[in-house]
Structures are given as structure tokens and as C-alpha cells.
Amino acid sequence: MSTLLLNLDFGEPPPKKAVEGNAKHQKFVKKRRLLERRGFLNKKNQRPGKVPKPHAEPPRKGEGPRVDGTWKVPPLAKKKKTAASSSGSEQFLDKKTVPWLTPAPSQKAGSLVAAVDLLGEFQSALPKIKSHPARPRKKGPQKNAAQNSTQAHPESTCSGASQKVPTKMVAIDCEMVGTGPKGHVSSLARCSIVNYSGDVLYDEYVLPPCHIVDYRTRWSGIRRQHMVNATPFKVARSQILKILTGKIVVGHAVHNDFKALQYVHPKALTRDTSHIPPLNRKADCPENATMSLKHLTKKLLNRDIQVGKSGHSSVEDAQATMELYKLVEVEWEEHLAQNPPKD
């Protein structure tokens, strides 16, 4: 038999596993570089490991396979912003828009771990959204506003009919001169009004419409020089009535002052210290007696007024009248609440 000689090369072929491993490594590197260029993967956050091959998209017209056997990945379509999308991170996490986020099925056990690692790298590269804490609701002072307003005005907490007395109460005193036949007609020459605390609200000399016959300086304190720049009666009267209207008016024998003003004040708003029985009882005087302002002031306030030859001071008399009223204010107002005066 003839001998057949075969020229066979018995050299060892290259290991398939090494070649396949190199090809997979090259694909992974190319994919990773593509993700790094597009900003979806940071180099620092990269973890070593095998990444499964993503789903290959069908080739488009005019495109062909690359040298390494992979298809060119087309640029991602930009999704329009809508009111429903609150941030850009929702667009990147949409698997329908970004197909390479879904790992390809593999029978290897390590492919699941690699897919989880790759998804974690993508999520770490996304911007973090800060959530603003809910603002706490303000509580408190709105409900207690009414209580604070009453505490700020302690005077308005008086019981009974005197709740609004301090802000709507004045004391008045007038000085008169003699006009008419033999000076027997009393005409207004000075008027003073003070508030509940005794502060002066009005103090003016008044020029009577008639010729002055008797100045009555011994009692009124009015002299000729006081009438030079005095306020005319009509002007002074309108100014005074603006102050008195709607207020409680305190006076001693105040009906004489109203007569000089040619004015009638409601009795329910009038307090005459010459006809207050509790005041007379405090001064140890008969309840029905009409006591002078000078006597009551000396007896109850231990102060001298209307002394000397210079005449009376209407400001001093009005302040003394208000202080006398305050001594019996609560008792007298309770009496008037139960027995209101009739006009």
C-alpha cells in the first residue's frame, strides 16, 4: 500500500473563550464611552464588571453594521416638557424612551448583578431633587386679639352703665358777665372743658353779643382786657357744642352753664354734682340740700378753691367737679341704671 502523507498542522488553536472575552470587553468599553460622552455615566462611579449586551435595535435605512459587528445607536429623541413632568429625571427613567436601560435576558447568573450595578450607576448620575419642607401654620394671636384689646384699655372694663364713661365724659364750667338792664342778664364770657383725667380740652374767653354792663370780676375773674381778643359768641358756641354732643357732661349747677350757652343737653347724659345725694352723704350734708362747689371741695377733697379777690377760675372749678363726681361714680351710675332720668 502506498503511504499517504497529509500535511496537517497540529498547532493549538487560540482559545475561543479568550477571543470572545476580548470582543465582549471591547463592546463594553465602546458602550461605556458612548454613555460617558452623553453624560449618563461618570468615570468615578464606574464599577468593574461585565455588562450584558443591550437590546439591539433594528437597522435603519442608510445604516450598516460597524467593524466590530455592532449597530450604530441613533440619538435619543427629545421628549417635550409637559405640565405632568416635574423634573428631567422622569424622562431618563422612562424605559420606552430609553431602550438601553432594559438589560437583555441572559442565562448567566452574573448578568442580573451586572444589570443592577449599571442601573445604580445611572441613577447616581441623575440630579437630586430637593423637597421643600411644608411650612407650619401660624397659630395663636388671632383668636386672642379681642382679649388683648380689652386688656390694653382697662378703663373700658367697668361694669354697668359706666363702661364707656372715661372716653365719653367731660366736665364744664362757665363764667358769666352782666348784660342788659342794670346788668341783670348773665352772658357767657369764659368757658372751660376738661376730660375725665382733668386735662383741658377747651378754655376760651367769649365776647357776648350784647354790651357788657357788669364784668363781675369779684366772682367771674373777667376784666376788660380779656374781651379784646375774645372769641365771638356764635363761633365759641359752635366749637363748644361739637365737644359736648354725645358725651356725658358733668357740672355743678350745670343748668346755668347750659342757659348761658343757649343749649339744652339730654338729662340722661347730664351729671349735676349739686344734686347727687351720695355726694352730700359723704360730706355729712342733707341729701336734698344744694351745697356749693367750694364747700364740697373743701370737705371731700380737702382743697381750697375760689379764694382771693381775683375771681374764680373756670378750669379749676371744672377739674374739682370731675374729681367730686369720681368719688361716687359707681354708686351713682348704678342708681341711674335702675332709675333712668326722664327728659
pLDDT, one tens digit per residue, over 219-237 is 999 999 999 999 999 999 9
* Distance separating alpha carbons of residues 325 and 322, to the nearest angstrom: 5
β-pairing, 185-195 with 200-207? Answer: antiparallel
Q: Summarize pLDDT for 107-132 with one digit per residue, the tens.
A: 444 544 444 455 555 555 555 555 55
Question: How far is it, in rounded angstroms, from Cα 78 to Cα 64?
Answer: 24
- Specify the pTM: 0.53
> Which pLDDT score, from 0 to 100, does residue 25 have?
83
Nearest to 318 by CA among 224, 203, 225, 226: 203
Measure Cα distances from 52 to 17, 29, 40, 92, 112 in Å.
Answer: 16, 12, 17, 20, 9
pLDDT of residue 309: 75
Per-residue pLDDT of 281-336, as tens digits, reads 999 999 888 999 999 999 999 999 988 777 889 999 999 999 999 999 999 999 99
> Mean of the pLDDT values across residues 56-82?
51
Name the 3-class secondary structure at 178: strand
The closest of 147, 144, 212, 140 to 175, measured between CA atoms, is: 212
Q: How much is the pLDDT for 113?
A: 47
